[in-house]
Amino acid sequence: MSAVTKAVIPVAGLGTRFLPVTKATPKEMLPIVDKPAIQYVVEEAVAAGLNDVLLVTGRAKRAVEDHFDENSELENALAQKGNQQMLDAVRGPVELANIHYVRQGVPRGLGHAVACAKQHVGDEPFAVLLGDDLIDDRDYVLPKMISVREKHGGSVVLLMPVPESEVHLYGCAAVRPTDDPQVVEIDDLIEKPAKGTAPSNLAVIGRYVLDPSVFQVLDATAPGQGGEVQLTDALRVLTKTDAIKGGGVRGVLFDGRRYDTGDKLSYLKAVVRLAAGRSDLGPEFREWLKSFTDSQEFSSPKN
Ligand code: G1P
């Protein structure tokens, strides 16, 4: 069975929830302290040994490409000033991985974005990482997901229990336990179930290790929830169809630190949590944060 060596990261979304900042800036470039969100995700893929990274981009995503490209003018200026620390920060994303790009001309949904990776990926299993979910580097889980794929074949998704009031925001799984307490068999998957109809409180978090048979299924997947081609719908077919080579979907249960950067409130929480945990900024920031929350300053907000 082939090893997992490639990561696919869709970055073609419109970022509607963050307008107006996403009018001219891709949402993947929003800073989480001093790095854009996308860099954390590429770093996670590389830490799992996936040096071949395909970014599925769209219109107005040039800043993402520039971020992972050389900037000799800036590098020369920093070198002349002898600013090695900033030079390393600027070189970091360039040297991180072998990054490739494919364009998703029309944003037709996550399933369609993954289908755009077909030619690059070929007939190998591959990982998909979604930029809105940041996994804390102390709790990286992709290696475990890859080992489940290597042991059982098929596809693997990451699952996390969420409050019942939030399940309708995610893909949701019906599961059965296995011998490994961290791994479940998936019997069914539903994209954004209507309130009260979710089969469990286990939500699909944006990490997947997929069998290449998913491409064949995606080709035949009609638009679903929100009029978009949903990856969850294709995976649902793979949970049901033994006839398809590479079928079968398992879930890895996650209880680590995960930061949702997909909407304004959770984005703010992610920035605060990561800044508070940094060794350079954390001590001073935590002290300020405490005195700020203890003060009355925020009780009369201005826009
Ligand atoms: C996507 C997937 C959904 C998954 C979620 C995780 O939804 O379609 O199944 O639970 O990512 O973040 P989106 O958040 O793009 O609407």
pLDDT digits (tens, 9 = 90+) for 39-94: 999 999 999 999 999 999 988 889 999 999 999 999 999 999 999 999 999 999 99
Ligand 1 neighbour 234 (Cβ under 6 A): no
CA angle 117, 121, 126 (to 5 degrees): 100
pLDDT at residue 257 above 70? Answer: yes
**How much distance in Å is there from the Cα of 219 to the middle of ligand 1?**
20
Ligand 1 atom 15: the closest Cα is on which residue? 110
CA of 230 to the centre of ligand 1 (A): 9
* Confidence tier at 303 by pLDDT (50, 70, 90): low
Atom of ligand 1 lying closest to residue 230 CA: 8
Nearest CA to ligand 1 atom 11: 206
Which of 15-24, 41-50, 82-91, 246-255 has the largest mean confidence?
A: 41-50
231 Cα nearest atom in ligand 1: 8
Cβ contacts of 271 within 8 Å, gap of 6 or more:
31, 32, 33
CA of 205 to the centre of ligand 1 (A): 7
Tell me if 205 CB under 6 Å of ligand 1: yes
The number of the ligand 1 atom at minimal distance from the alpha carbon of 226 is: 16
Could you report the per-residue pLDDT of 150-207, keeping only the tens digit for each?
999 999 999 999 999 999 999 999 999 999 999 999 999 999 999 889 999 999 999 9
pLDDT of 15 reads: 83
Domain ranges of the chain: 6-262, 263-295
- Measured CA to CA, the distance from residue 94 to residue 98 in angstroms comes to 9
Confirm or reject: Cβ of 232 under 6 Å from ligand 1: yes
Among residues of the chain, what percentage have pLDDT more than 90?
A: 85
Q: Over range 9-38, report the average pLDDT.
A: 91
The pair of three-digit structure tokens given for residue 65, joined into one six-digit string = 């490409």
CA distance 80 to 193: 57
The pTM for the full model equals 0.94
Measured in angstroms, how far is the CA atom of residue 266 from the centroid of ligand 1? 15
Q: Is residue 227 predicted with pLDDT exceeding 70? A: yes
Closest CA to 234 of 86, 62, 115, 83: 115
Instruction: For residue 245, name the pLDDT band (cuts at 50, 70, 90).
Output: confident
Q: In this model, does residue 242 exceed pLDDT 80?
A: no
Cβ 193 under 6 angstroms from ligand 1: no
pLDDT computed for residue 59 by the predictor: 83
C-beta 130 within 6 A of ligand 1: yes
- Is 189 touching ligand 1 by the criterion CB < 6 Å? no
Res. 246 pLDDT band, cuts 50 70 90: confident
Can you tell me which atom of ligand 1 is nearest the CA of 110? 8
Nearest atom within ligand 1 for CA of residue 225: 8
* Residue located nearest, by CA, to atom 9 of ligand 1: 171
224 CB under 6 A from ligand 1?
no
- Distance of alpha carbon 279 from alpha carbon 205, whole angstroms: 28
What pLDDT is recorded for position 177? 97
Section 216-222 average pLDDT: 95
Question: What topology is assigned to 6-262 in CATH?
Answer: Spore Coat Polysaccharide Biosynthesis Protein SpsA; Chain A (3.90.550)
> Which of 11, 14, 108, 110 maximizes ligand 1 atoms within 8 Å of its Cβ, making it the mutation to test the pocket?
110
d(CA 177, CA 40): 31
Contact between 27 and 37 (Cβ < 8 Å)? yes
User: CA–CA separation, 206 vs 231, rounded Å?
Assistant: 11
Instruction: Identify the burial level of 46 via C-beta atoms within 10 angstroms of its C-beta, where 0-12 means exposed, 13-18 middle and 19 or more buried.
Output: middle
Q: Write down the pLDDT at residue 298.
A: 66
pLDDT of residue 182: 98
* Least confident segment among 119-128, 141-150, 166-175, 244-253: 244-253
* CA of 83 relative to ligand 1 center, distance in Å: 40
